[in-house]
Amino acid sequence: MTRRLALDALLAFALSRALFFALVIAGSQIAFLQKTYSGSVWETRIDLQAARVRPELERVAMVGDAWFYRSIAMEGYDRSERVAFFPLFPLLVRLTHLSFPLGGMIVSNIAFACALLLLGAVAMKSGASEEDARRAMFYLAFFPTSYFLSLPVTEAVFLAASLAAVLCALDGRWWAAGLFGALATGTRVAGILLIPLLAIIFFQRDDRPRARLLFLALVPVGLVAFMWHLRRVTGDAFAFMHVQTRWGRTFSLQTLLAQLQNFSEPWNFVALNLAAALLLIGVGVHLLVRREWAFGVYTLTTALLPLSSGSLQSMARYAVVAFPLFLWLAVRGRQPGWDRAIVGASITLFGWLIALLTLRVDFALA
């Protein structure tokens, strides 16, 4: 990776996070005064007070899954729903010795900055031009749901670990690829999808000796360690899977079809999540048609794994960690018209969803 590309990665991080924090801070300082125009419109005022910035920022940051990770960081695991959430992220936050919201945001933003640098490096190693790599980084930074990469949840750490594993594989450092893969499976169950991705890269490189493929056995170590701990605590090594039924996550084609008929379901912006699912599936299929097997399989399975739970919920959130999507978009962005369309749509949705996040609108939290 060139110095210029590294600086572009940091610029993408700085610009997107400046917009994110500016909108969150401004939104959290809105005071609702009274209704005007016959009680149909709220009169508001932004009353920015320095003493309120940090507590309000932390209040906004503690959304959805963040409460479960906070409980794990403070108290560990028990037989409650927190067994659905993997341990690496709360462990990293605990090591900061800061309050969970602040420590979590610091961990996530550092991991996100690393992920942008790693995405640029992966793009270059995969044969992309420097301009393509630059576009991929900016598309990721301003992706509509990339605000999750700054919140105290797992997306940024998972993305950084996954990209590090892929970069090491492209360099032929298979022991390091296995170790970073283990970090990914210790962060989210989707880390297991790195195994076919890394295996395909191995055979495409035709690396010798073949025994080096055994380093990929390190990838599931994070998952296995978590299962062992759950076995000790709950007596059920698969508790992280079984608890999903409490949220109604069991595969059912009928359930998926029913969601398409209800676009106002709480916690589930069906239109946006459906668009994300179709985008991932379409990109995955297109990559496979072009015989980009590794990235095609990974993109497709990134969509199919959550869909196998019978829910479209959070598909737009899962899309932000499907890094081949941004490499694919970068190629489309070579045409100025496509580039303007991608940038315009991304920034518009990015700002809109952050505004809804500050207002605690349900689907922006999921």
CA-closest candidate to residue 180, choices 198, 207, 155: 198
Range with the poorest average pLDDT among 81-90, 95-104, 149-158, 270-279: 270-279
Which residue type, as a one-letter code, is found at position 360?
R
pLDDT in tens, 159-193: 999 999 999 999 999 999 999 999 999 999 999 99
Coil, strand or helix at 360 = coil
Rounded distance, CA 331 to CA 239, Å? 41
Q: Could you tell me the pTM of the whole model?
A: 0.94
Coil, strand or helix at 159 = helix
Rounded distance, CA 152 to CA 220, Å? 24
Q: Note every long-range contact of 132-135, with CB atoms under 8 Å and residues 24 or more positions apart, other chains counting.
A: 132/327, 132/330, 132/331, 132/333, 132/334, 133/5, 133/330, 134/5, 134/8, 135/329, 135/330, 135/333, 135/339
Q: Helices 270-289 and 293-307 meet at what angle, rounded to 10?
A: 150
pLDDT in tens, 26-73: 877 776 667 676 665 666 677 777 777 888 888 888 888 999 999 999
